[in-house]
Structure 1
Amino acid sequence: MALAPFHLAIPVSDLAAARHFYGEVFGCAEGRNSEHWVDFDFFGHQLVIHQAPKMAYQEAAYSNPVDGHDVPVPHFGVVLGWEDWQMLAARLKAKGTSFVIEPYIRFVGQPGEQATLFLLDPCGNALEFKAFKDIGQLFAK
């Protein structure tokens, strides 16, 4: 079964700042929009940012320990190809991005070994981008 694009709508307290972040920092193409929301082609998926008051989880993210790092909860993101992840990590570093968890290889030598990075958008939404040299490890135990 081929993967279908997901649709995710998230709250942003500053629509202009979030629009710049997803459009300019990530280079996501903009789709439909109004004065209260904007949709983006988010690596082949539909991400919609909606103007809304700041949510409690955007003020101070909860976290769980994973591989020696505090992973923010909730978070969302995309599993990219290995080279695409490397290019994204380089792009974000070149733009002076502040990371919650710097790009690194997680679970080295274990099932599910992966490249990962975490960052926050300007409104406090946590994002994770990961990649596997062997995509068959995505759900490995």
Structure 2
Amino acid sequence: MSLSPFHLAIPVYDIPAARKFYGEVFNLEEGRSAAQWVDFNFYGHQLVIHEHPKMAYQENALSNPVDGHNVPAPHFGVILKWEQWEALAERLTALGTKFVIEPYIRFKGQVGEQATMFLFDPCGNALEFKAFKDMSQIFAK
């Protein structure tokens, strides 16, 4: 399957904190920027943080129950290769990351089994990183 890079622009109310988070915590390469926005290479996709006043969902996270956990909504993220996900989970844990949902295997032994973890950026945007051992399971029912 050949994928096209996506472009996602998200609001942040603290550009320096968000820039440090995406640049240093995730080691994302920074692209173009201005005083009110910064482009990042988010695993081959274009993630742009835009300065914006705090929004309601960034203050009071909403969630939906999934596999016994409260999954924050909205959220965004990326599907990594299994080994990349494991390395990222180890790195984030070693950095003392506060997870919303600790790294674990969701739907274990079922269709769509996946590794997942959730965390917030410094501005309250929820991120999910996941992986499938069998990539054909991404859209499996």
TM-score normalised by structure 2 residue count: 0.99
Partner of 2:37: 37
Q: Extract unaligned runs of 5+ from structure 2.
A: none
Give the Cα separation in 2 of the matches to 1:22 and 1:99.
16
Tell me the amino acid that sits aligned with residue 53 of structure 2. Answer: P
Cα displacement (A) at 1:84: 0.4
Cα displacement (A) at 1:45: 0.5
Give the Cα separation in 2 of the matches to 1:8 and 1:129.
15
CA RMSD of aligned residues (A): 0.6
Partner of 1:52: 52
Cα displacement (A) at 1:77: 0.1
Moved over 4 A (4+): none
Q: Does 1:18 align with 2:24?
A: no
Partner of 2:87: 87
Give SS of 1:23's match. helix
Partner of 1:9: 9
Partner of 1:121: 121
Give SS of 1:133's match. coil
Alignment of 1:53-72 (within 5 A): 53-72=53-72
Cα displacement (A) at 1:116: 0.1
Give SS of 1:38's match. strand
Partner of 2:74: 74
Partner of 1:130: 130
User: Percent of aligned pairs with the same residue?
Assistant: 74
Partner of 1:111: 111
Question: CA offsets, 1:57-114, max 9 Å, x none?
Answer: 1101110000000000000000000000001111111111000000000000100000
Give the Cα separation in 2 of the matches to 1:14 and 1:43.
22
Give the Cα separation in 1 of the matches to 2:109 and 2:93.
26
Give the Cα separation in 2 of the matches to 1:28 and 1:94.
18
Cα displacement (A) at 1:2: 1.3
User: How many aligned residue pairs are there?
Assistant: 141
Give the Cα separation in 2 of the matches to 1:37 and 1:80.
26
Give the Cα separation in 2 of the matches to 1:43 and 1:58.
24
Give the Cα separation in 2 of the matches to 1:69 and 1:9.
27
Give the Cα separation in 2 of the matches to 1:109 and 1:96.
29
